[in-house]
Structure 1
Amino acid sequence: MRRILNSTKLNRASALAVAASAMMIIASADGSGAAAQALEPVATQEPTLPTVSEPVIQQLPGADGADVAPAASLADLVAEQPQPAELSRELNCLAAAIYHEAKGETLNGQLAVGRVIVARSKSGRFPDSYCGVVFQPSQFSFVRGNSLPGGARNARQWKNAVAVAQIAHEGTWRSPVEGALFFHAAYVSPGWRLTRMARVDNHVFYR
């Protein structure tokens, strides 16, 4: 009888031990799963960046408020200028000065001449109009009295002069000698006591 009881106790103890082991295994499995989940890398979404395949050109405001891309070069800007059927008197004076002073020079040389006339008209030291600056006595050798030279003009060179005059007037491209108020041909030496800025093509510029 005692043996049966002991055997029953042993069976119960074994059953309890087996049940306890099973619970430990289940608990251990849940713990491992939580830990594994915690350690699992979380996918994060990277911010999407624009793909740039070509250089971006900064947009600049145009005269009418619209955005326009700046020209890549002075030559491009000259090519973009409209050719008016008729020029205002002021623009005609400016274009004529550029033409007669620098028509055979580079576009930079022509712009430098044009910007001198614009700068003079705004300086307060010279007449306040382009025609006033051009017709001021003893300033420009191509002027004859109160009139501009007549005769035929080279069509391509005049077209460039008109375009450069518009650019000089609007200030849409900086002259290589921005701020200059005086210039003379490079083959003369007038001995001016002025601040020399630079030589551009066949002219020397001062302020």
Structure 2
Amino acid sequence: MAKELAHINWLSRLAVLSLALLLTVGTGSAFAASSSTLFIEDEKVSLNQSLRLVDGVTFAPVKELAALMDWHVAYDADAGYVVVMNGEGDKLAFRSGESEVRYNGKTYDIPQTARMINDTSYLPLRVLTEAMHAQVGWQAEDKLSSVTDVEPYVVQSGDTLASIAEANGTTAAALKVRNGLTSDALNAGDSLKMIVPEFMDPATADVALLSKLIQVEAGYEPYEGKIAIANVVLNRVKSGRFPDTVSGVIYAAGQFPPARNGNLQTLSASSESVQAAKAALSGENVVPGALYFFNPKLEPAKAKKSSVVKTIGHHMFIR
């Protein structure tokens, strides 16, 4: 097993703060500003607190964006959660320094931790907007992010879940999860939420956990090395010798130290680690058959007697 890389998460497990501290819009930051301007419903808007680009991921100031989008923000002082709600009944709760969120009564994992930047609560822009049933996009001409509220779809006579999903670039399985459906049956006049947050889509639900494992094990490795870490996990899922789920493999006893010591709950994955996780989940495999990896410089004796699939960066991948 690869030696756990030293990883410092300076924002992890922040103490419970007052509502004013959590939600105040401040100025200045140690983070590079991505932009102080974005499009809201096709109108260019200037923010008091800029969007922030952190490891390739755009973070948004929660309170200010919520005010622009007519979402409601509250604070659960007992649990230390910031809670964001929209007019469609969706409720997203999060705590700074954690990547676990509560959404509509269930707990999910996201690839990055919520952050405090200049005494202001920040979440990844895509996570926040999709959870509030809005669409995040990109205005190429102005090179600015855009956020657009999306109305639920009203089912028409003759519609099927599959046809609605195809027309909206999603899947029937994702729509069923998003709308709490137990079957594919629809009735004319039914209202369906069409924006499915990545963290609850069955096709991408493993991205967060896998990308954070990649980050801690190969954060400084080349992109191919990041994909290879994910490949080892997925190769194990398919092998019959390990648990048959991504979480089962990662949390198996004696395998990945970051999973056992809780680091994955307070770790943020870079955009490249997320991209690598998605590539592996989509079928890209750069180390077919590899079930283990390690650093041969740290374990030279092991390197001599292993069945090597490939060496990438500082890691040797073996069967």
Query: Quick check: 1:185 aligned with 2:309?
Result: no
- Equivalent pairs, count: 119
Aligned partner of 1:167 in structure 2 is 279
Query: Quick check: 1:101 aligned with 2:217?
Result: yes
Residue segments in structure 1 that go unaligned for 5+ positions in a row? 1-63, 65-83
Query: Quick check: 1:206 aligned with 2:318?
Result: yes
Aligned partner of 2:108 in structure 1 is none
CA gap 1:148/1:127 in 2 versus in 1, 3 angstroms: farther
Q: Which amino acid aligns with 2:290?
A: A
Taking the aligned partners of 1:181 and 1:191, their CA distance within structure 2 comes to 15
Q: CA deviation at 1:99?
A: 1.1
TM (normalized to structure 2)? 0.34
Taking the aligned partners of 2:266 and 2:318, their CA distance within structure 1 comes to 31
Aligned partner of 2:8 in structure 1 is none
Taking the aligned partners of 1:134 and 1:165, their CA distance within structure 2 comes to 14
Aligned partner of 1:132 in structure 2 is 248
Q: Which amino acid aligns with 1:206?
A: I
Deviation per CA, 1:146-182, whole angstroms, max 9, x where unpaired? x4434453xxx521111111110111x331x222111
- C-alpha contact 2:293 2:317 (8 A) present in aligned 1: yes
Q: Which structure has the highest helix share of the two?
A: 1
Aligned partner of 1:86 in structure 2 is 199
TM (normalized to structure 1)? 0.51
Q: Which amino acid aligns with 2:274?
A: V
Residue segments in structure 2 that go unaligned for 5+ positions in a row? 1-165, 167-196
Q: Which amino acid aligns with 1:105?
A: E
Among 249, 257, 264, the alignment partner of 1:149 is: 264
Q: CA deviation at 1:201?
A: 0.5
Aligned residues with identical type, % of pairs: 29
CA gap 1:115/1:91 in 2 versus in 1, 3 angstroms: same
Q: Which amino acid aligns with 1:118?
A: L
Deviation per CA, 1:76-115, whole angstroms, max 9, x where unpaired? xxxxxxxx65365522221111111111111100011111
Q: Which amino acid aligns with 1:202?
A: H
- C-alpha contact 2:199 2:205 (8 A) present in aligned 1: no
Q: Which structure has the highest strand share of the two?
A: 2
- C-alpha contact 1:112 1:178 (8 A) present in aligned 2: no
> Which secondary structure does the structure 1 equivalent of 2:256 belong to?
coil
